[in-house]
Amino acid sequence: MFDILLVATLLVAVVTGFLPPNQFTLRHRVVIPNSKVRSPVADDQCAQIIVIGKIILDKYGDPDTHDHGDISIGGGGPQSAWGACAALGARDMLGWNDDDEEQRMLTDDTASPPKQNVTFVAPIGLKNWTPEMTISLNSLLPMLKTPPKLVTSLEHMTPTIHIWHDTNETVNWTPMDESFGEQGADGLWRLNLLDDILDEIENHYENNIVLHAILQCGHEPTGNGLDALPLFNSSLMERVSAASIEPILFPDEAGVISHDDRSETRAFFERVVDYTSDLCESNQTNKLVLVSPDRPCYDALCSSTESSSNVMQHIEFAVRDGSNGSIIDHGSTIIPPATLKTIDGKPVNPTGAGNAYAGAYAACRGTGSSMEEAACIANAVGAVVCEYENLPPWTWEVLERVVEAACEVRSKIDIKCSGR
């Protein structure tokens, strides 16, 4: 079977000029990175991924018009959880051999891919949350081994926004019903989720926990920064092998992060690094600190000269750069984007692509992938999210599409390196 695939691949190469990437090994229908590029951070790939993120209710449509859709489940949390699961599922497929595929072919075509070791924890306000919304959320994330852990509050409402895209596919949004005030996001995101997180992992006896958190950052952030409390709890962090942060900062109309936001975010990262370093020293362990900012946030942090500390060198950055792909290894390596398989090659809905990327990168990197492998898969996950109006379904077809996109990204890297 291998010989047949090799001949077929060479025929494709003759017709299209495409060759399998140099550093990949041909297996079954896909190409995989050599195992030697795995990171030593977490050799056990059976880690538990914990995603802490917000749920926001989305009402699509410009508030200045009357063309509004129904309210749907949105927010960075569900997208990140989906991204983590899709990345792990696709990476498993990249490592398949012939026996794995034969077993796959024997399964019912309607069967879903396996569930993933990903836990999603999020706060919700019950003033406007309904049982039907819980059902809807569960249907978006059927690949979780346990349903999303919702931390509820009777005193708050779940944040709700108008959301729409302009002609440049830039996401625009505005709060509805004062749901980002004290009765909404500002109060809700101060809830302490720590006990719920510890409950979720109490039966997980290994120390290989990968924690990914979407956090409000900057000066006077929504929730007053209390959503970061889990990162400073020794009972949790002693069991974490990789801590990943997706910082949320909002630039001004010119795309610039303010001085105060930049300073406060750097100070926050310093506290995280200092706390993590102290834990590692006392427990004689290694922990990986990952940060997945968008490009404006990263540029602002790198341009700052206010701190003489070496904090930036103690953080591994995976920078989300939209349609340009992503940037890793402290800005030295650009990971190209995957080509969208939409009718016009443009995104159907770019909302959540960055969140999905961050969750995917954290899941892969925290469980042993190299930076490059994690970024290739994460770029693919972000691209596939853009090809659907909402989160993609959990199907073999979608995972195969992620695999295809990841291989395309990797091939672009090799072509660039070879000078072709």
Q: Which percentage of the chain shows pLDDT scores above 70?
A: 79
Taking residues 3-29, what's their average pLDDT?
36
Is the torsion defined by CA of 17, 369, 316, 148 positive or negative? positive
Buried b (16+ CB within 10 A) or exposed e, 85-101: bbbbbbbbbbebeeeeb
Distance CA(299)–CA(306), nearest Å, equals 14
pLDDT in tens, 337-350: 999 999 998 898 88
For residue 11, what pLDDT band results from cuts at 50, 70 and 90? very low
Residues 6+ apart with CB under 8 A from 267: 307
Q: How far is CA 179 from CA 218, 224, 413, in A?
A: 20, 16, 44
DSSP 16-54: H-----TTEEEETTEEEE-GGG--TT---S-PEEEEE--
% of the chain exceeding 90 in pLDDT: 58
Mean pLDDT of all residues in the chain? 83
pTM for the predicted model, two decimal places: 0.87
Higher pLDDT, residue 69 or 269: 269
Q: Which domains does the chain have, with CATH numbers?
A: 42-418 (3.40.1190.20)
Provide the pLDDT for residue 7.
Answer: 40
- How many angstroms separate the CA atoms of 371 and 240, rounded? 19
Angle between helices 76-94 and 396-418 (to 10 degrees): 70
Q: For the ranges 161-170, 249-258, 266-275, which has the lowest average pLDDT?
A: 161-170
Tell me: pLDDT of 65 over 80. no
- Quote the CA–CA distance of 389 and 165 in Å, as a whole number: 12
pLDDT reported for residue 103: 59
| The dihedral formed by the CA atoms of 195, 199, 202 and 208, expressed in degrees to the nearest 10 | -70
Q: Kindly state the average pLDDT of the residues 99-121.
A: 74
Instruction: Work out the pLDDT band at 41, boundaries 50, 70, 90.
Output: very low
Integer Cα distance of 129 and 156 in angstroms: 10
Q: Are strands 118-125 and 48-52 parallel, antiparallel or unpaired?
A: parallel
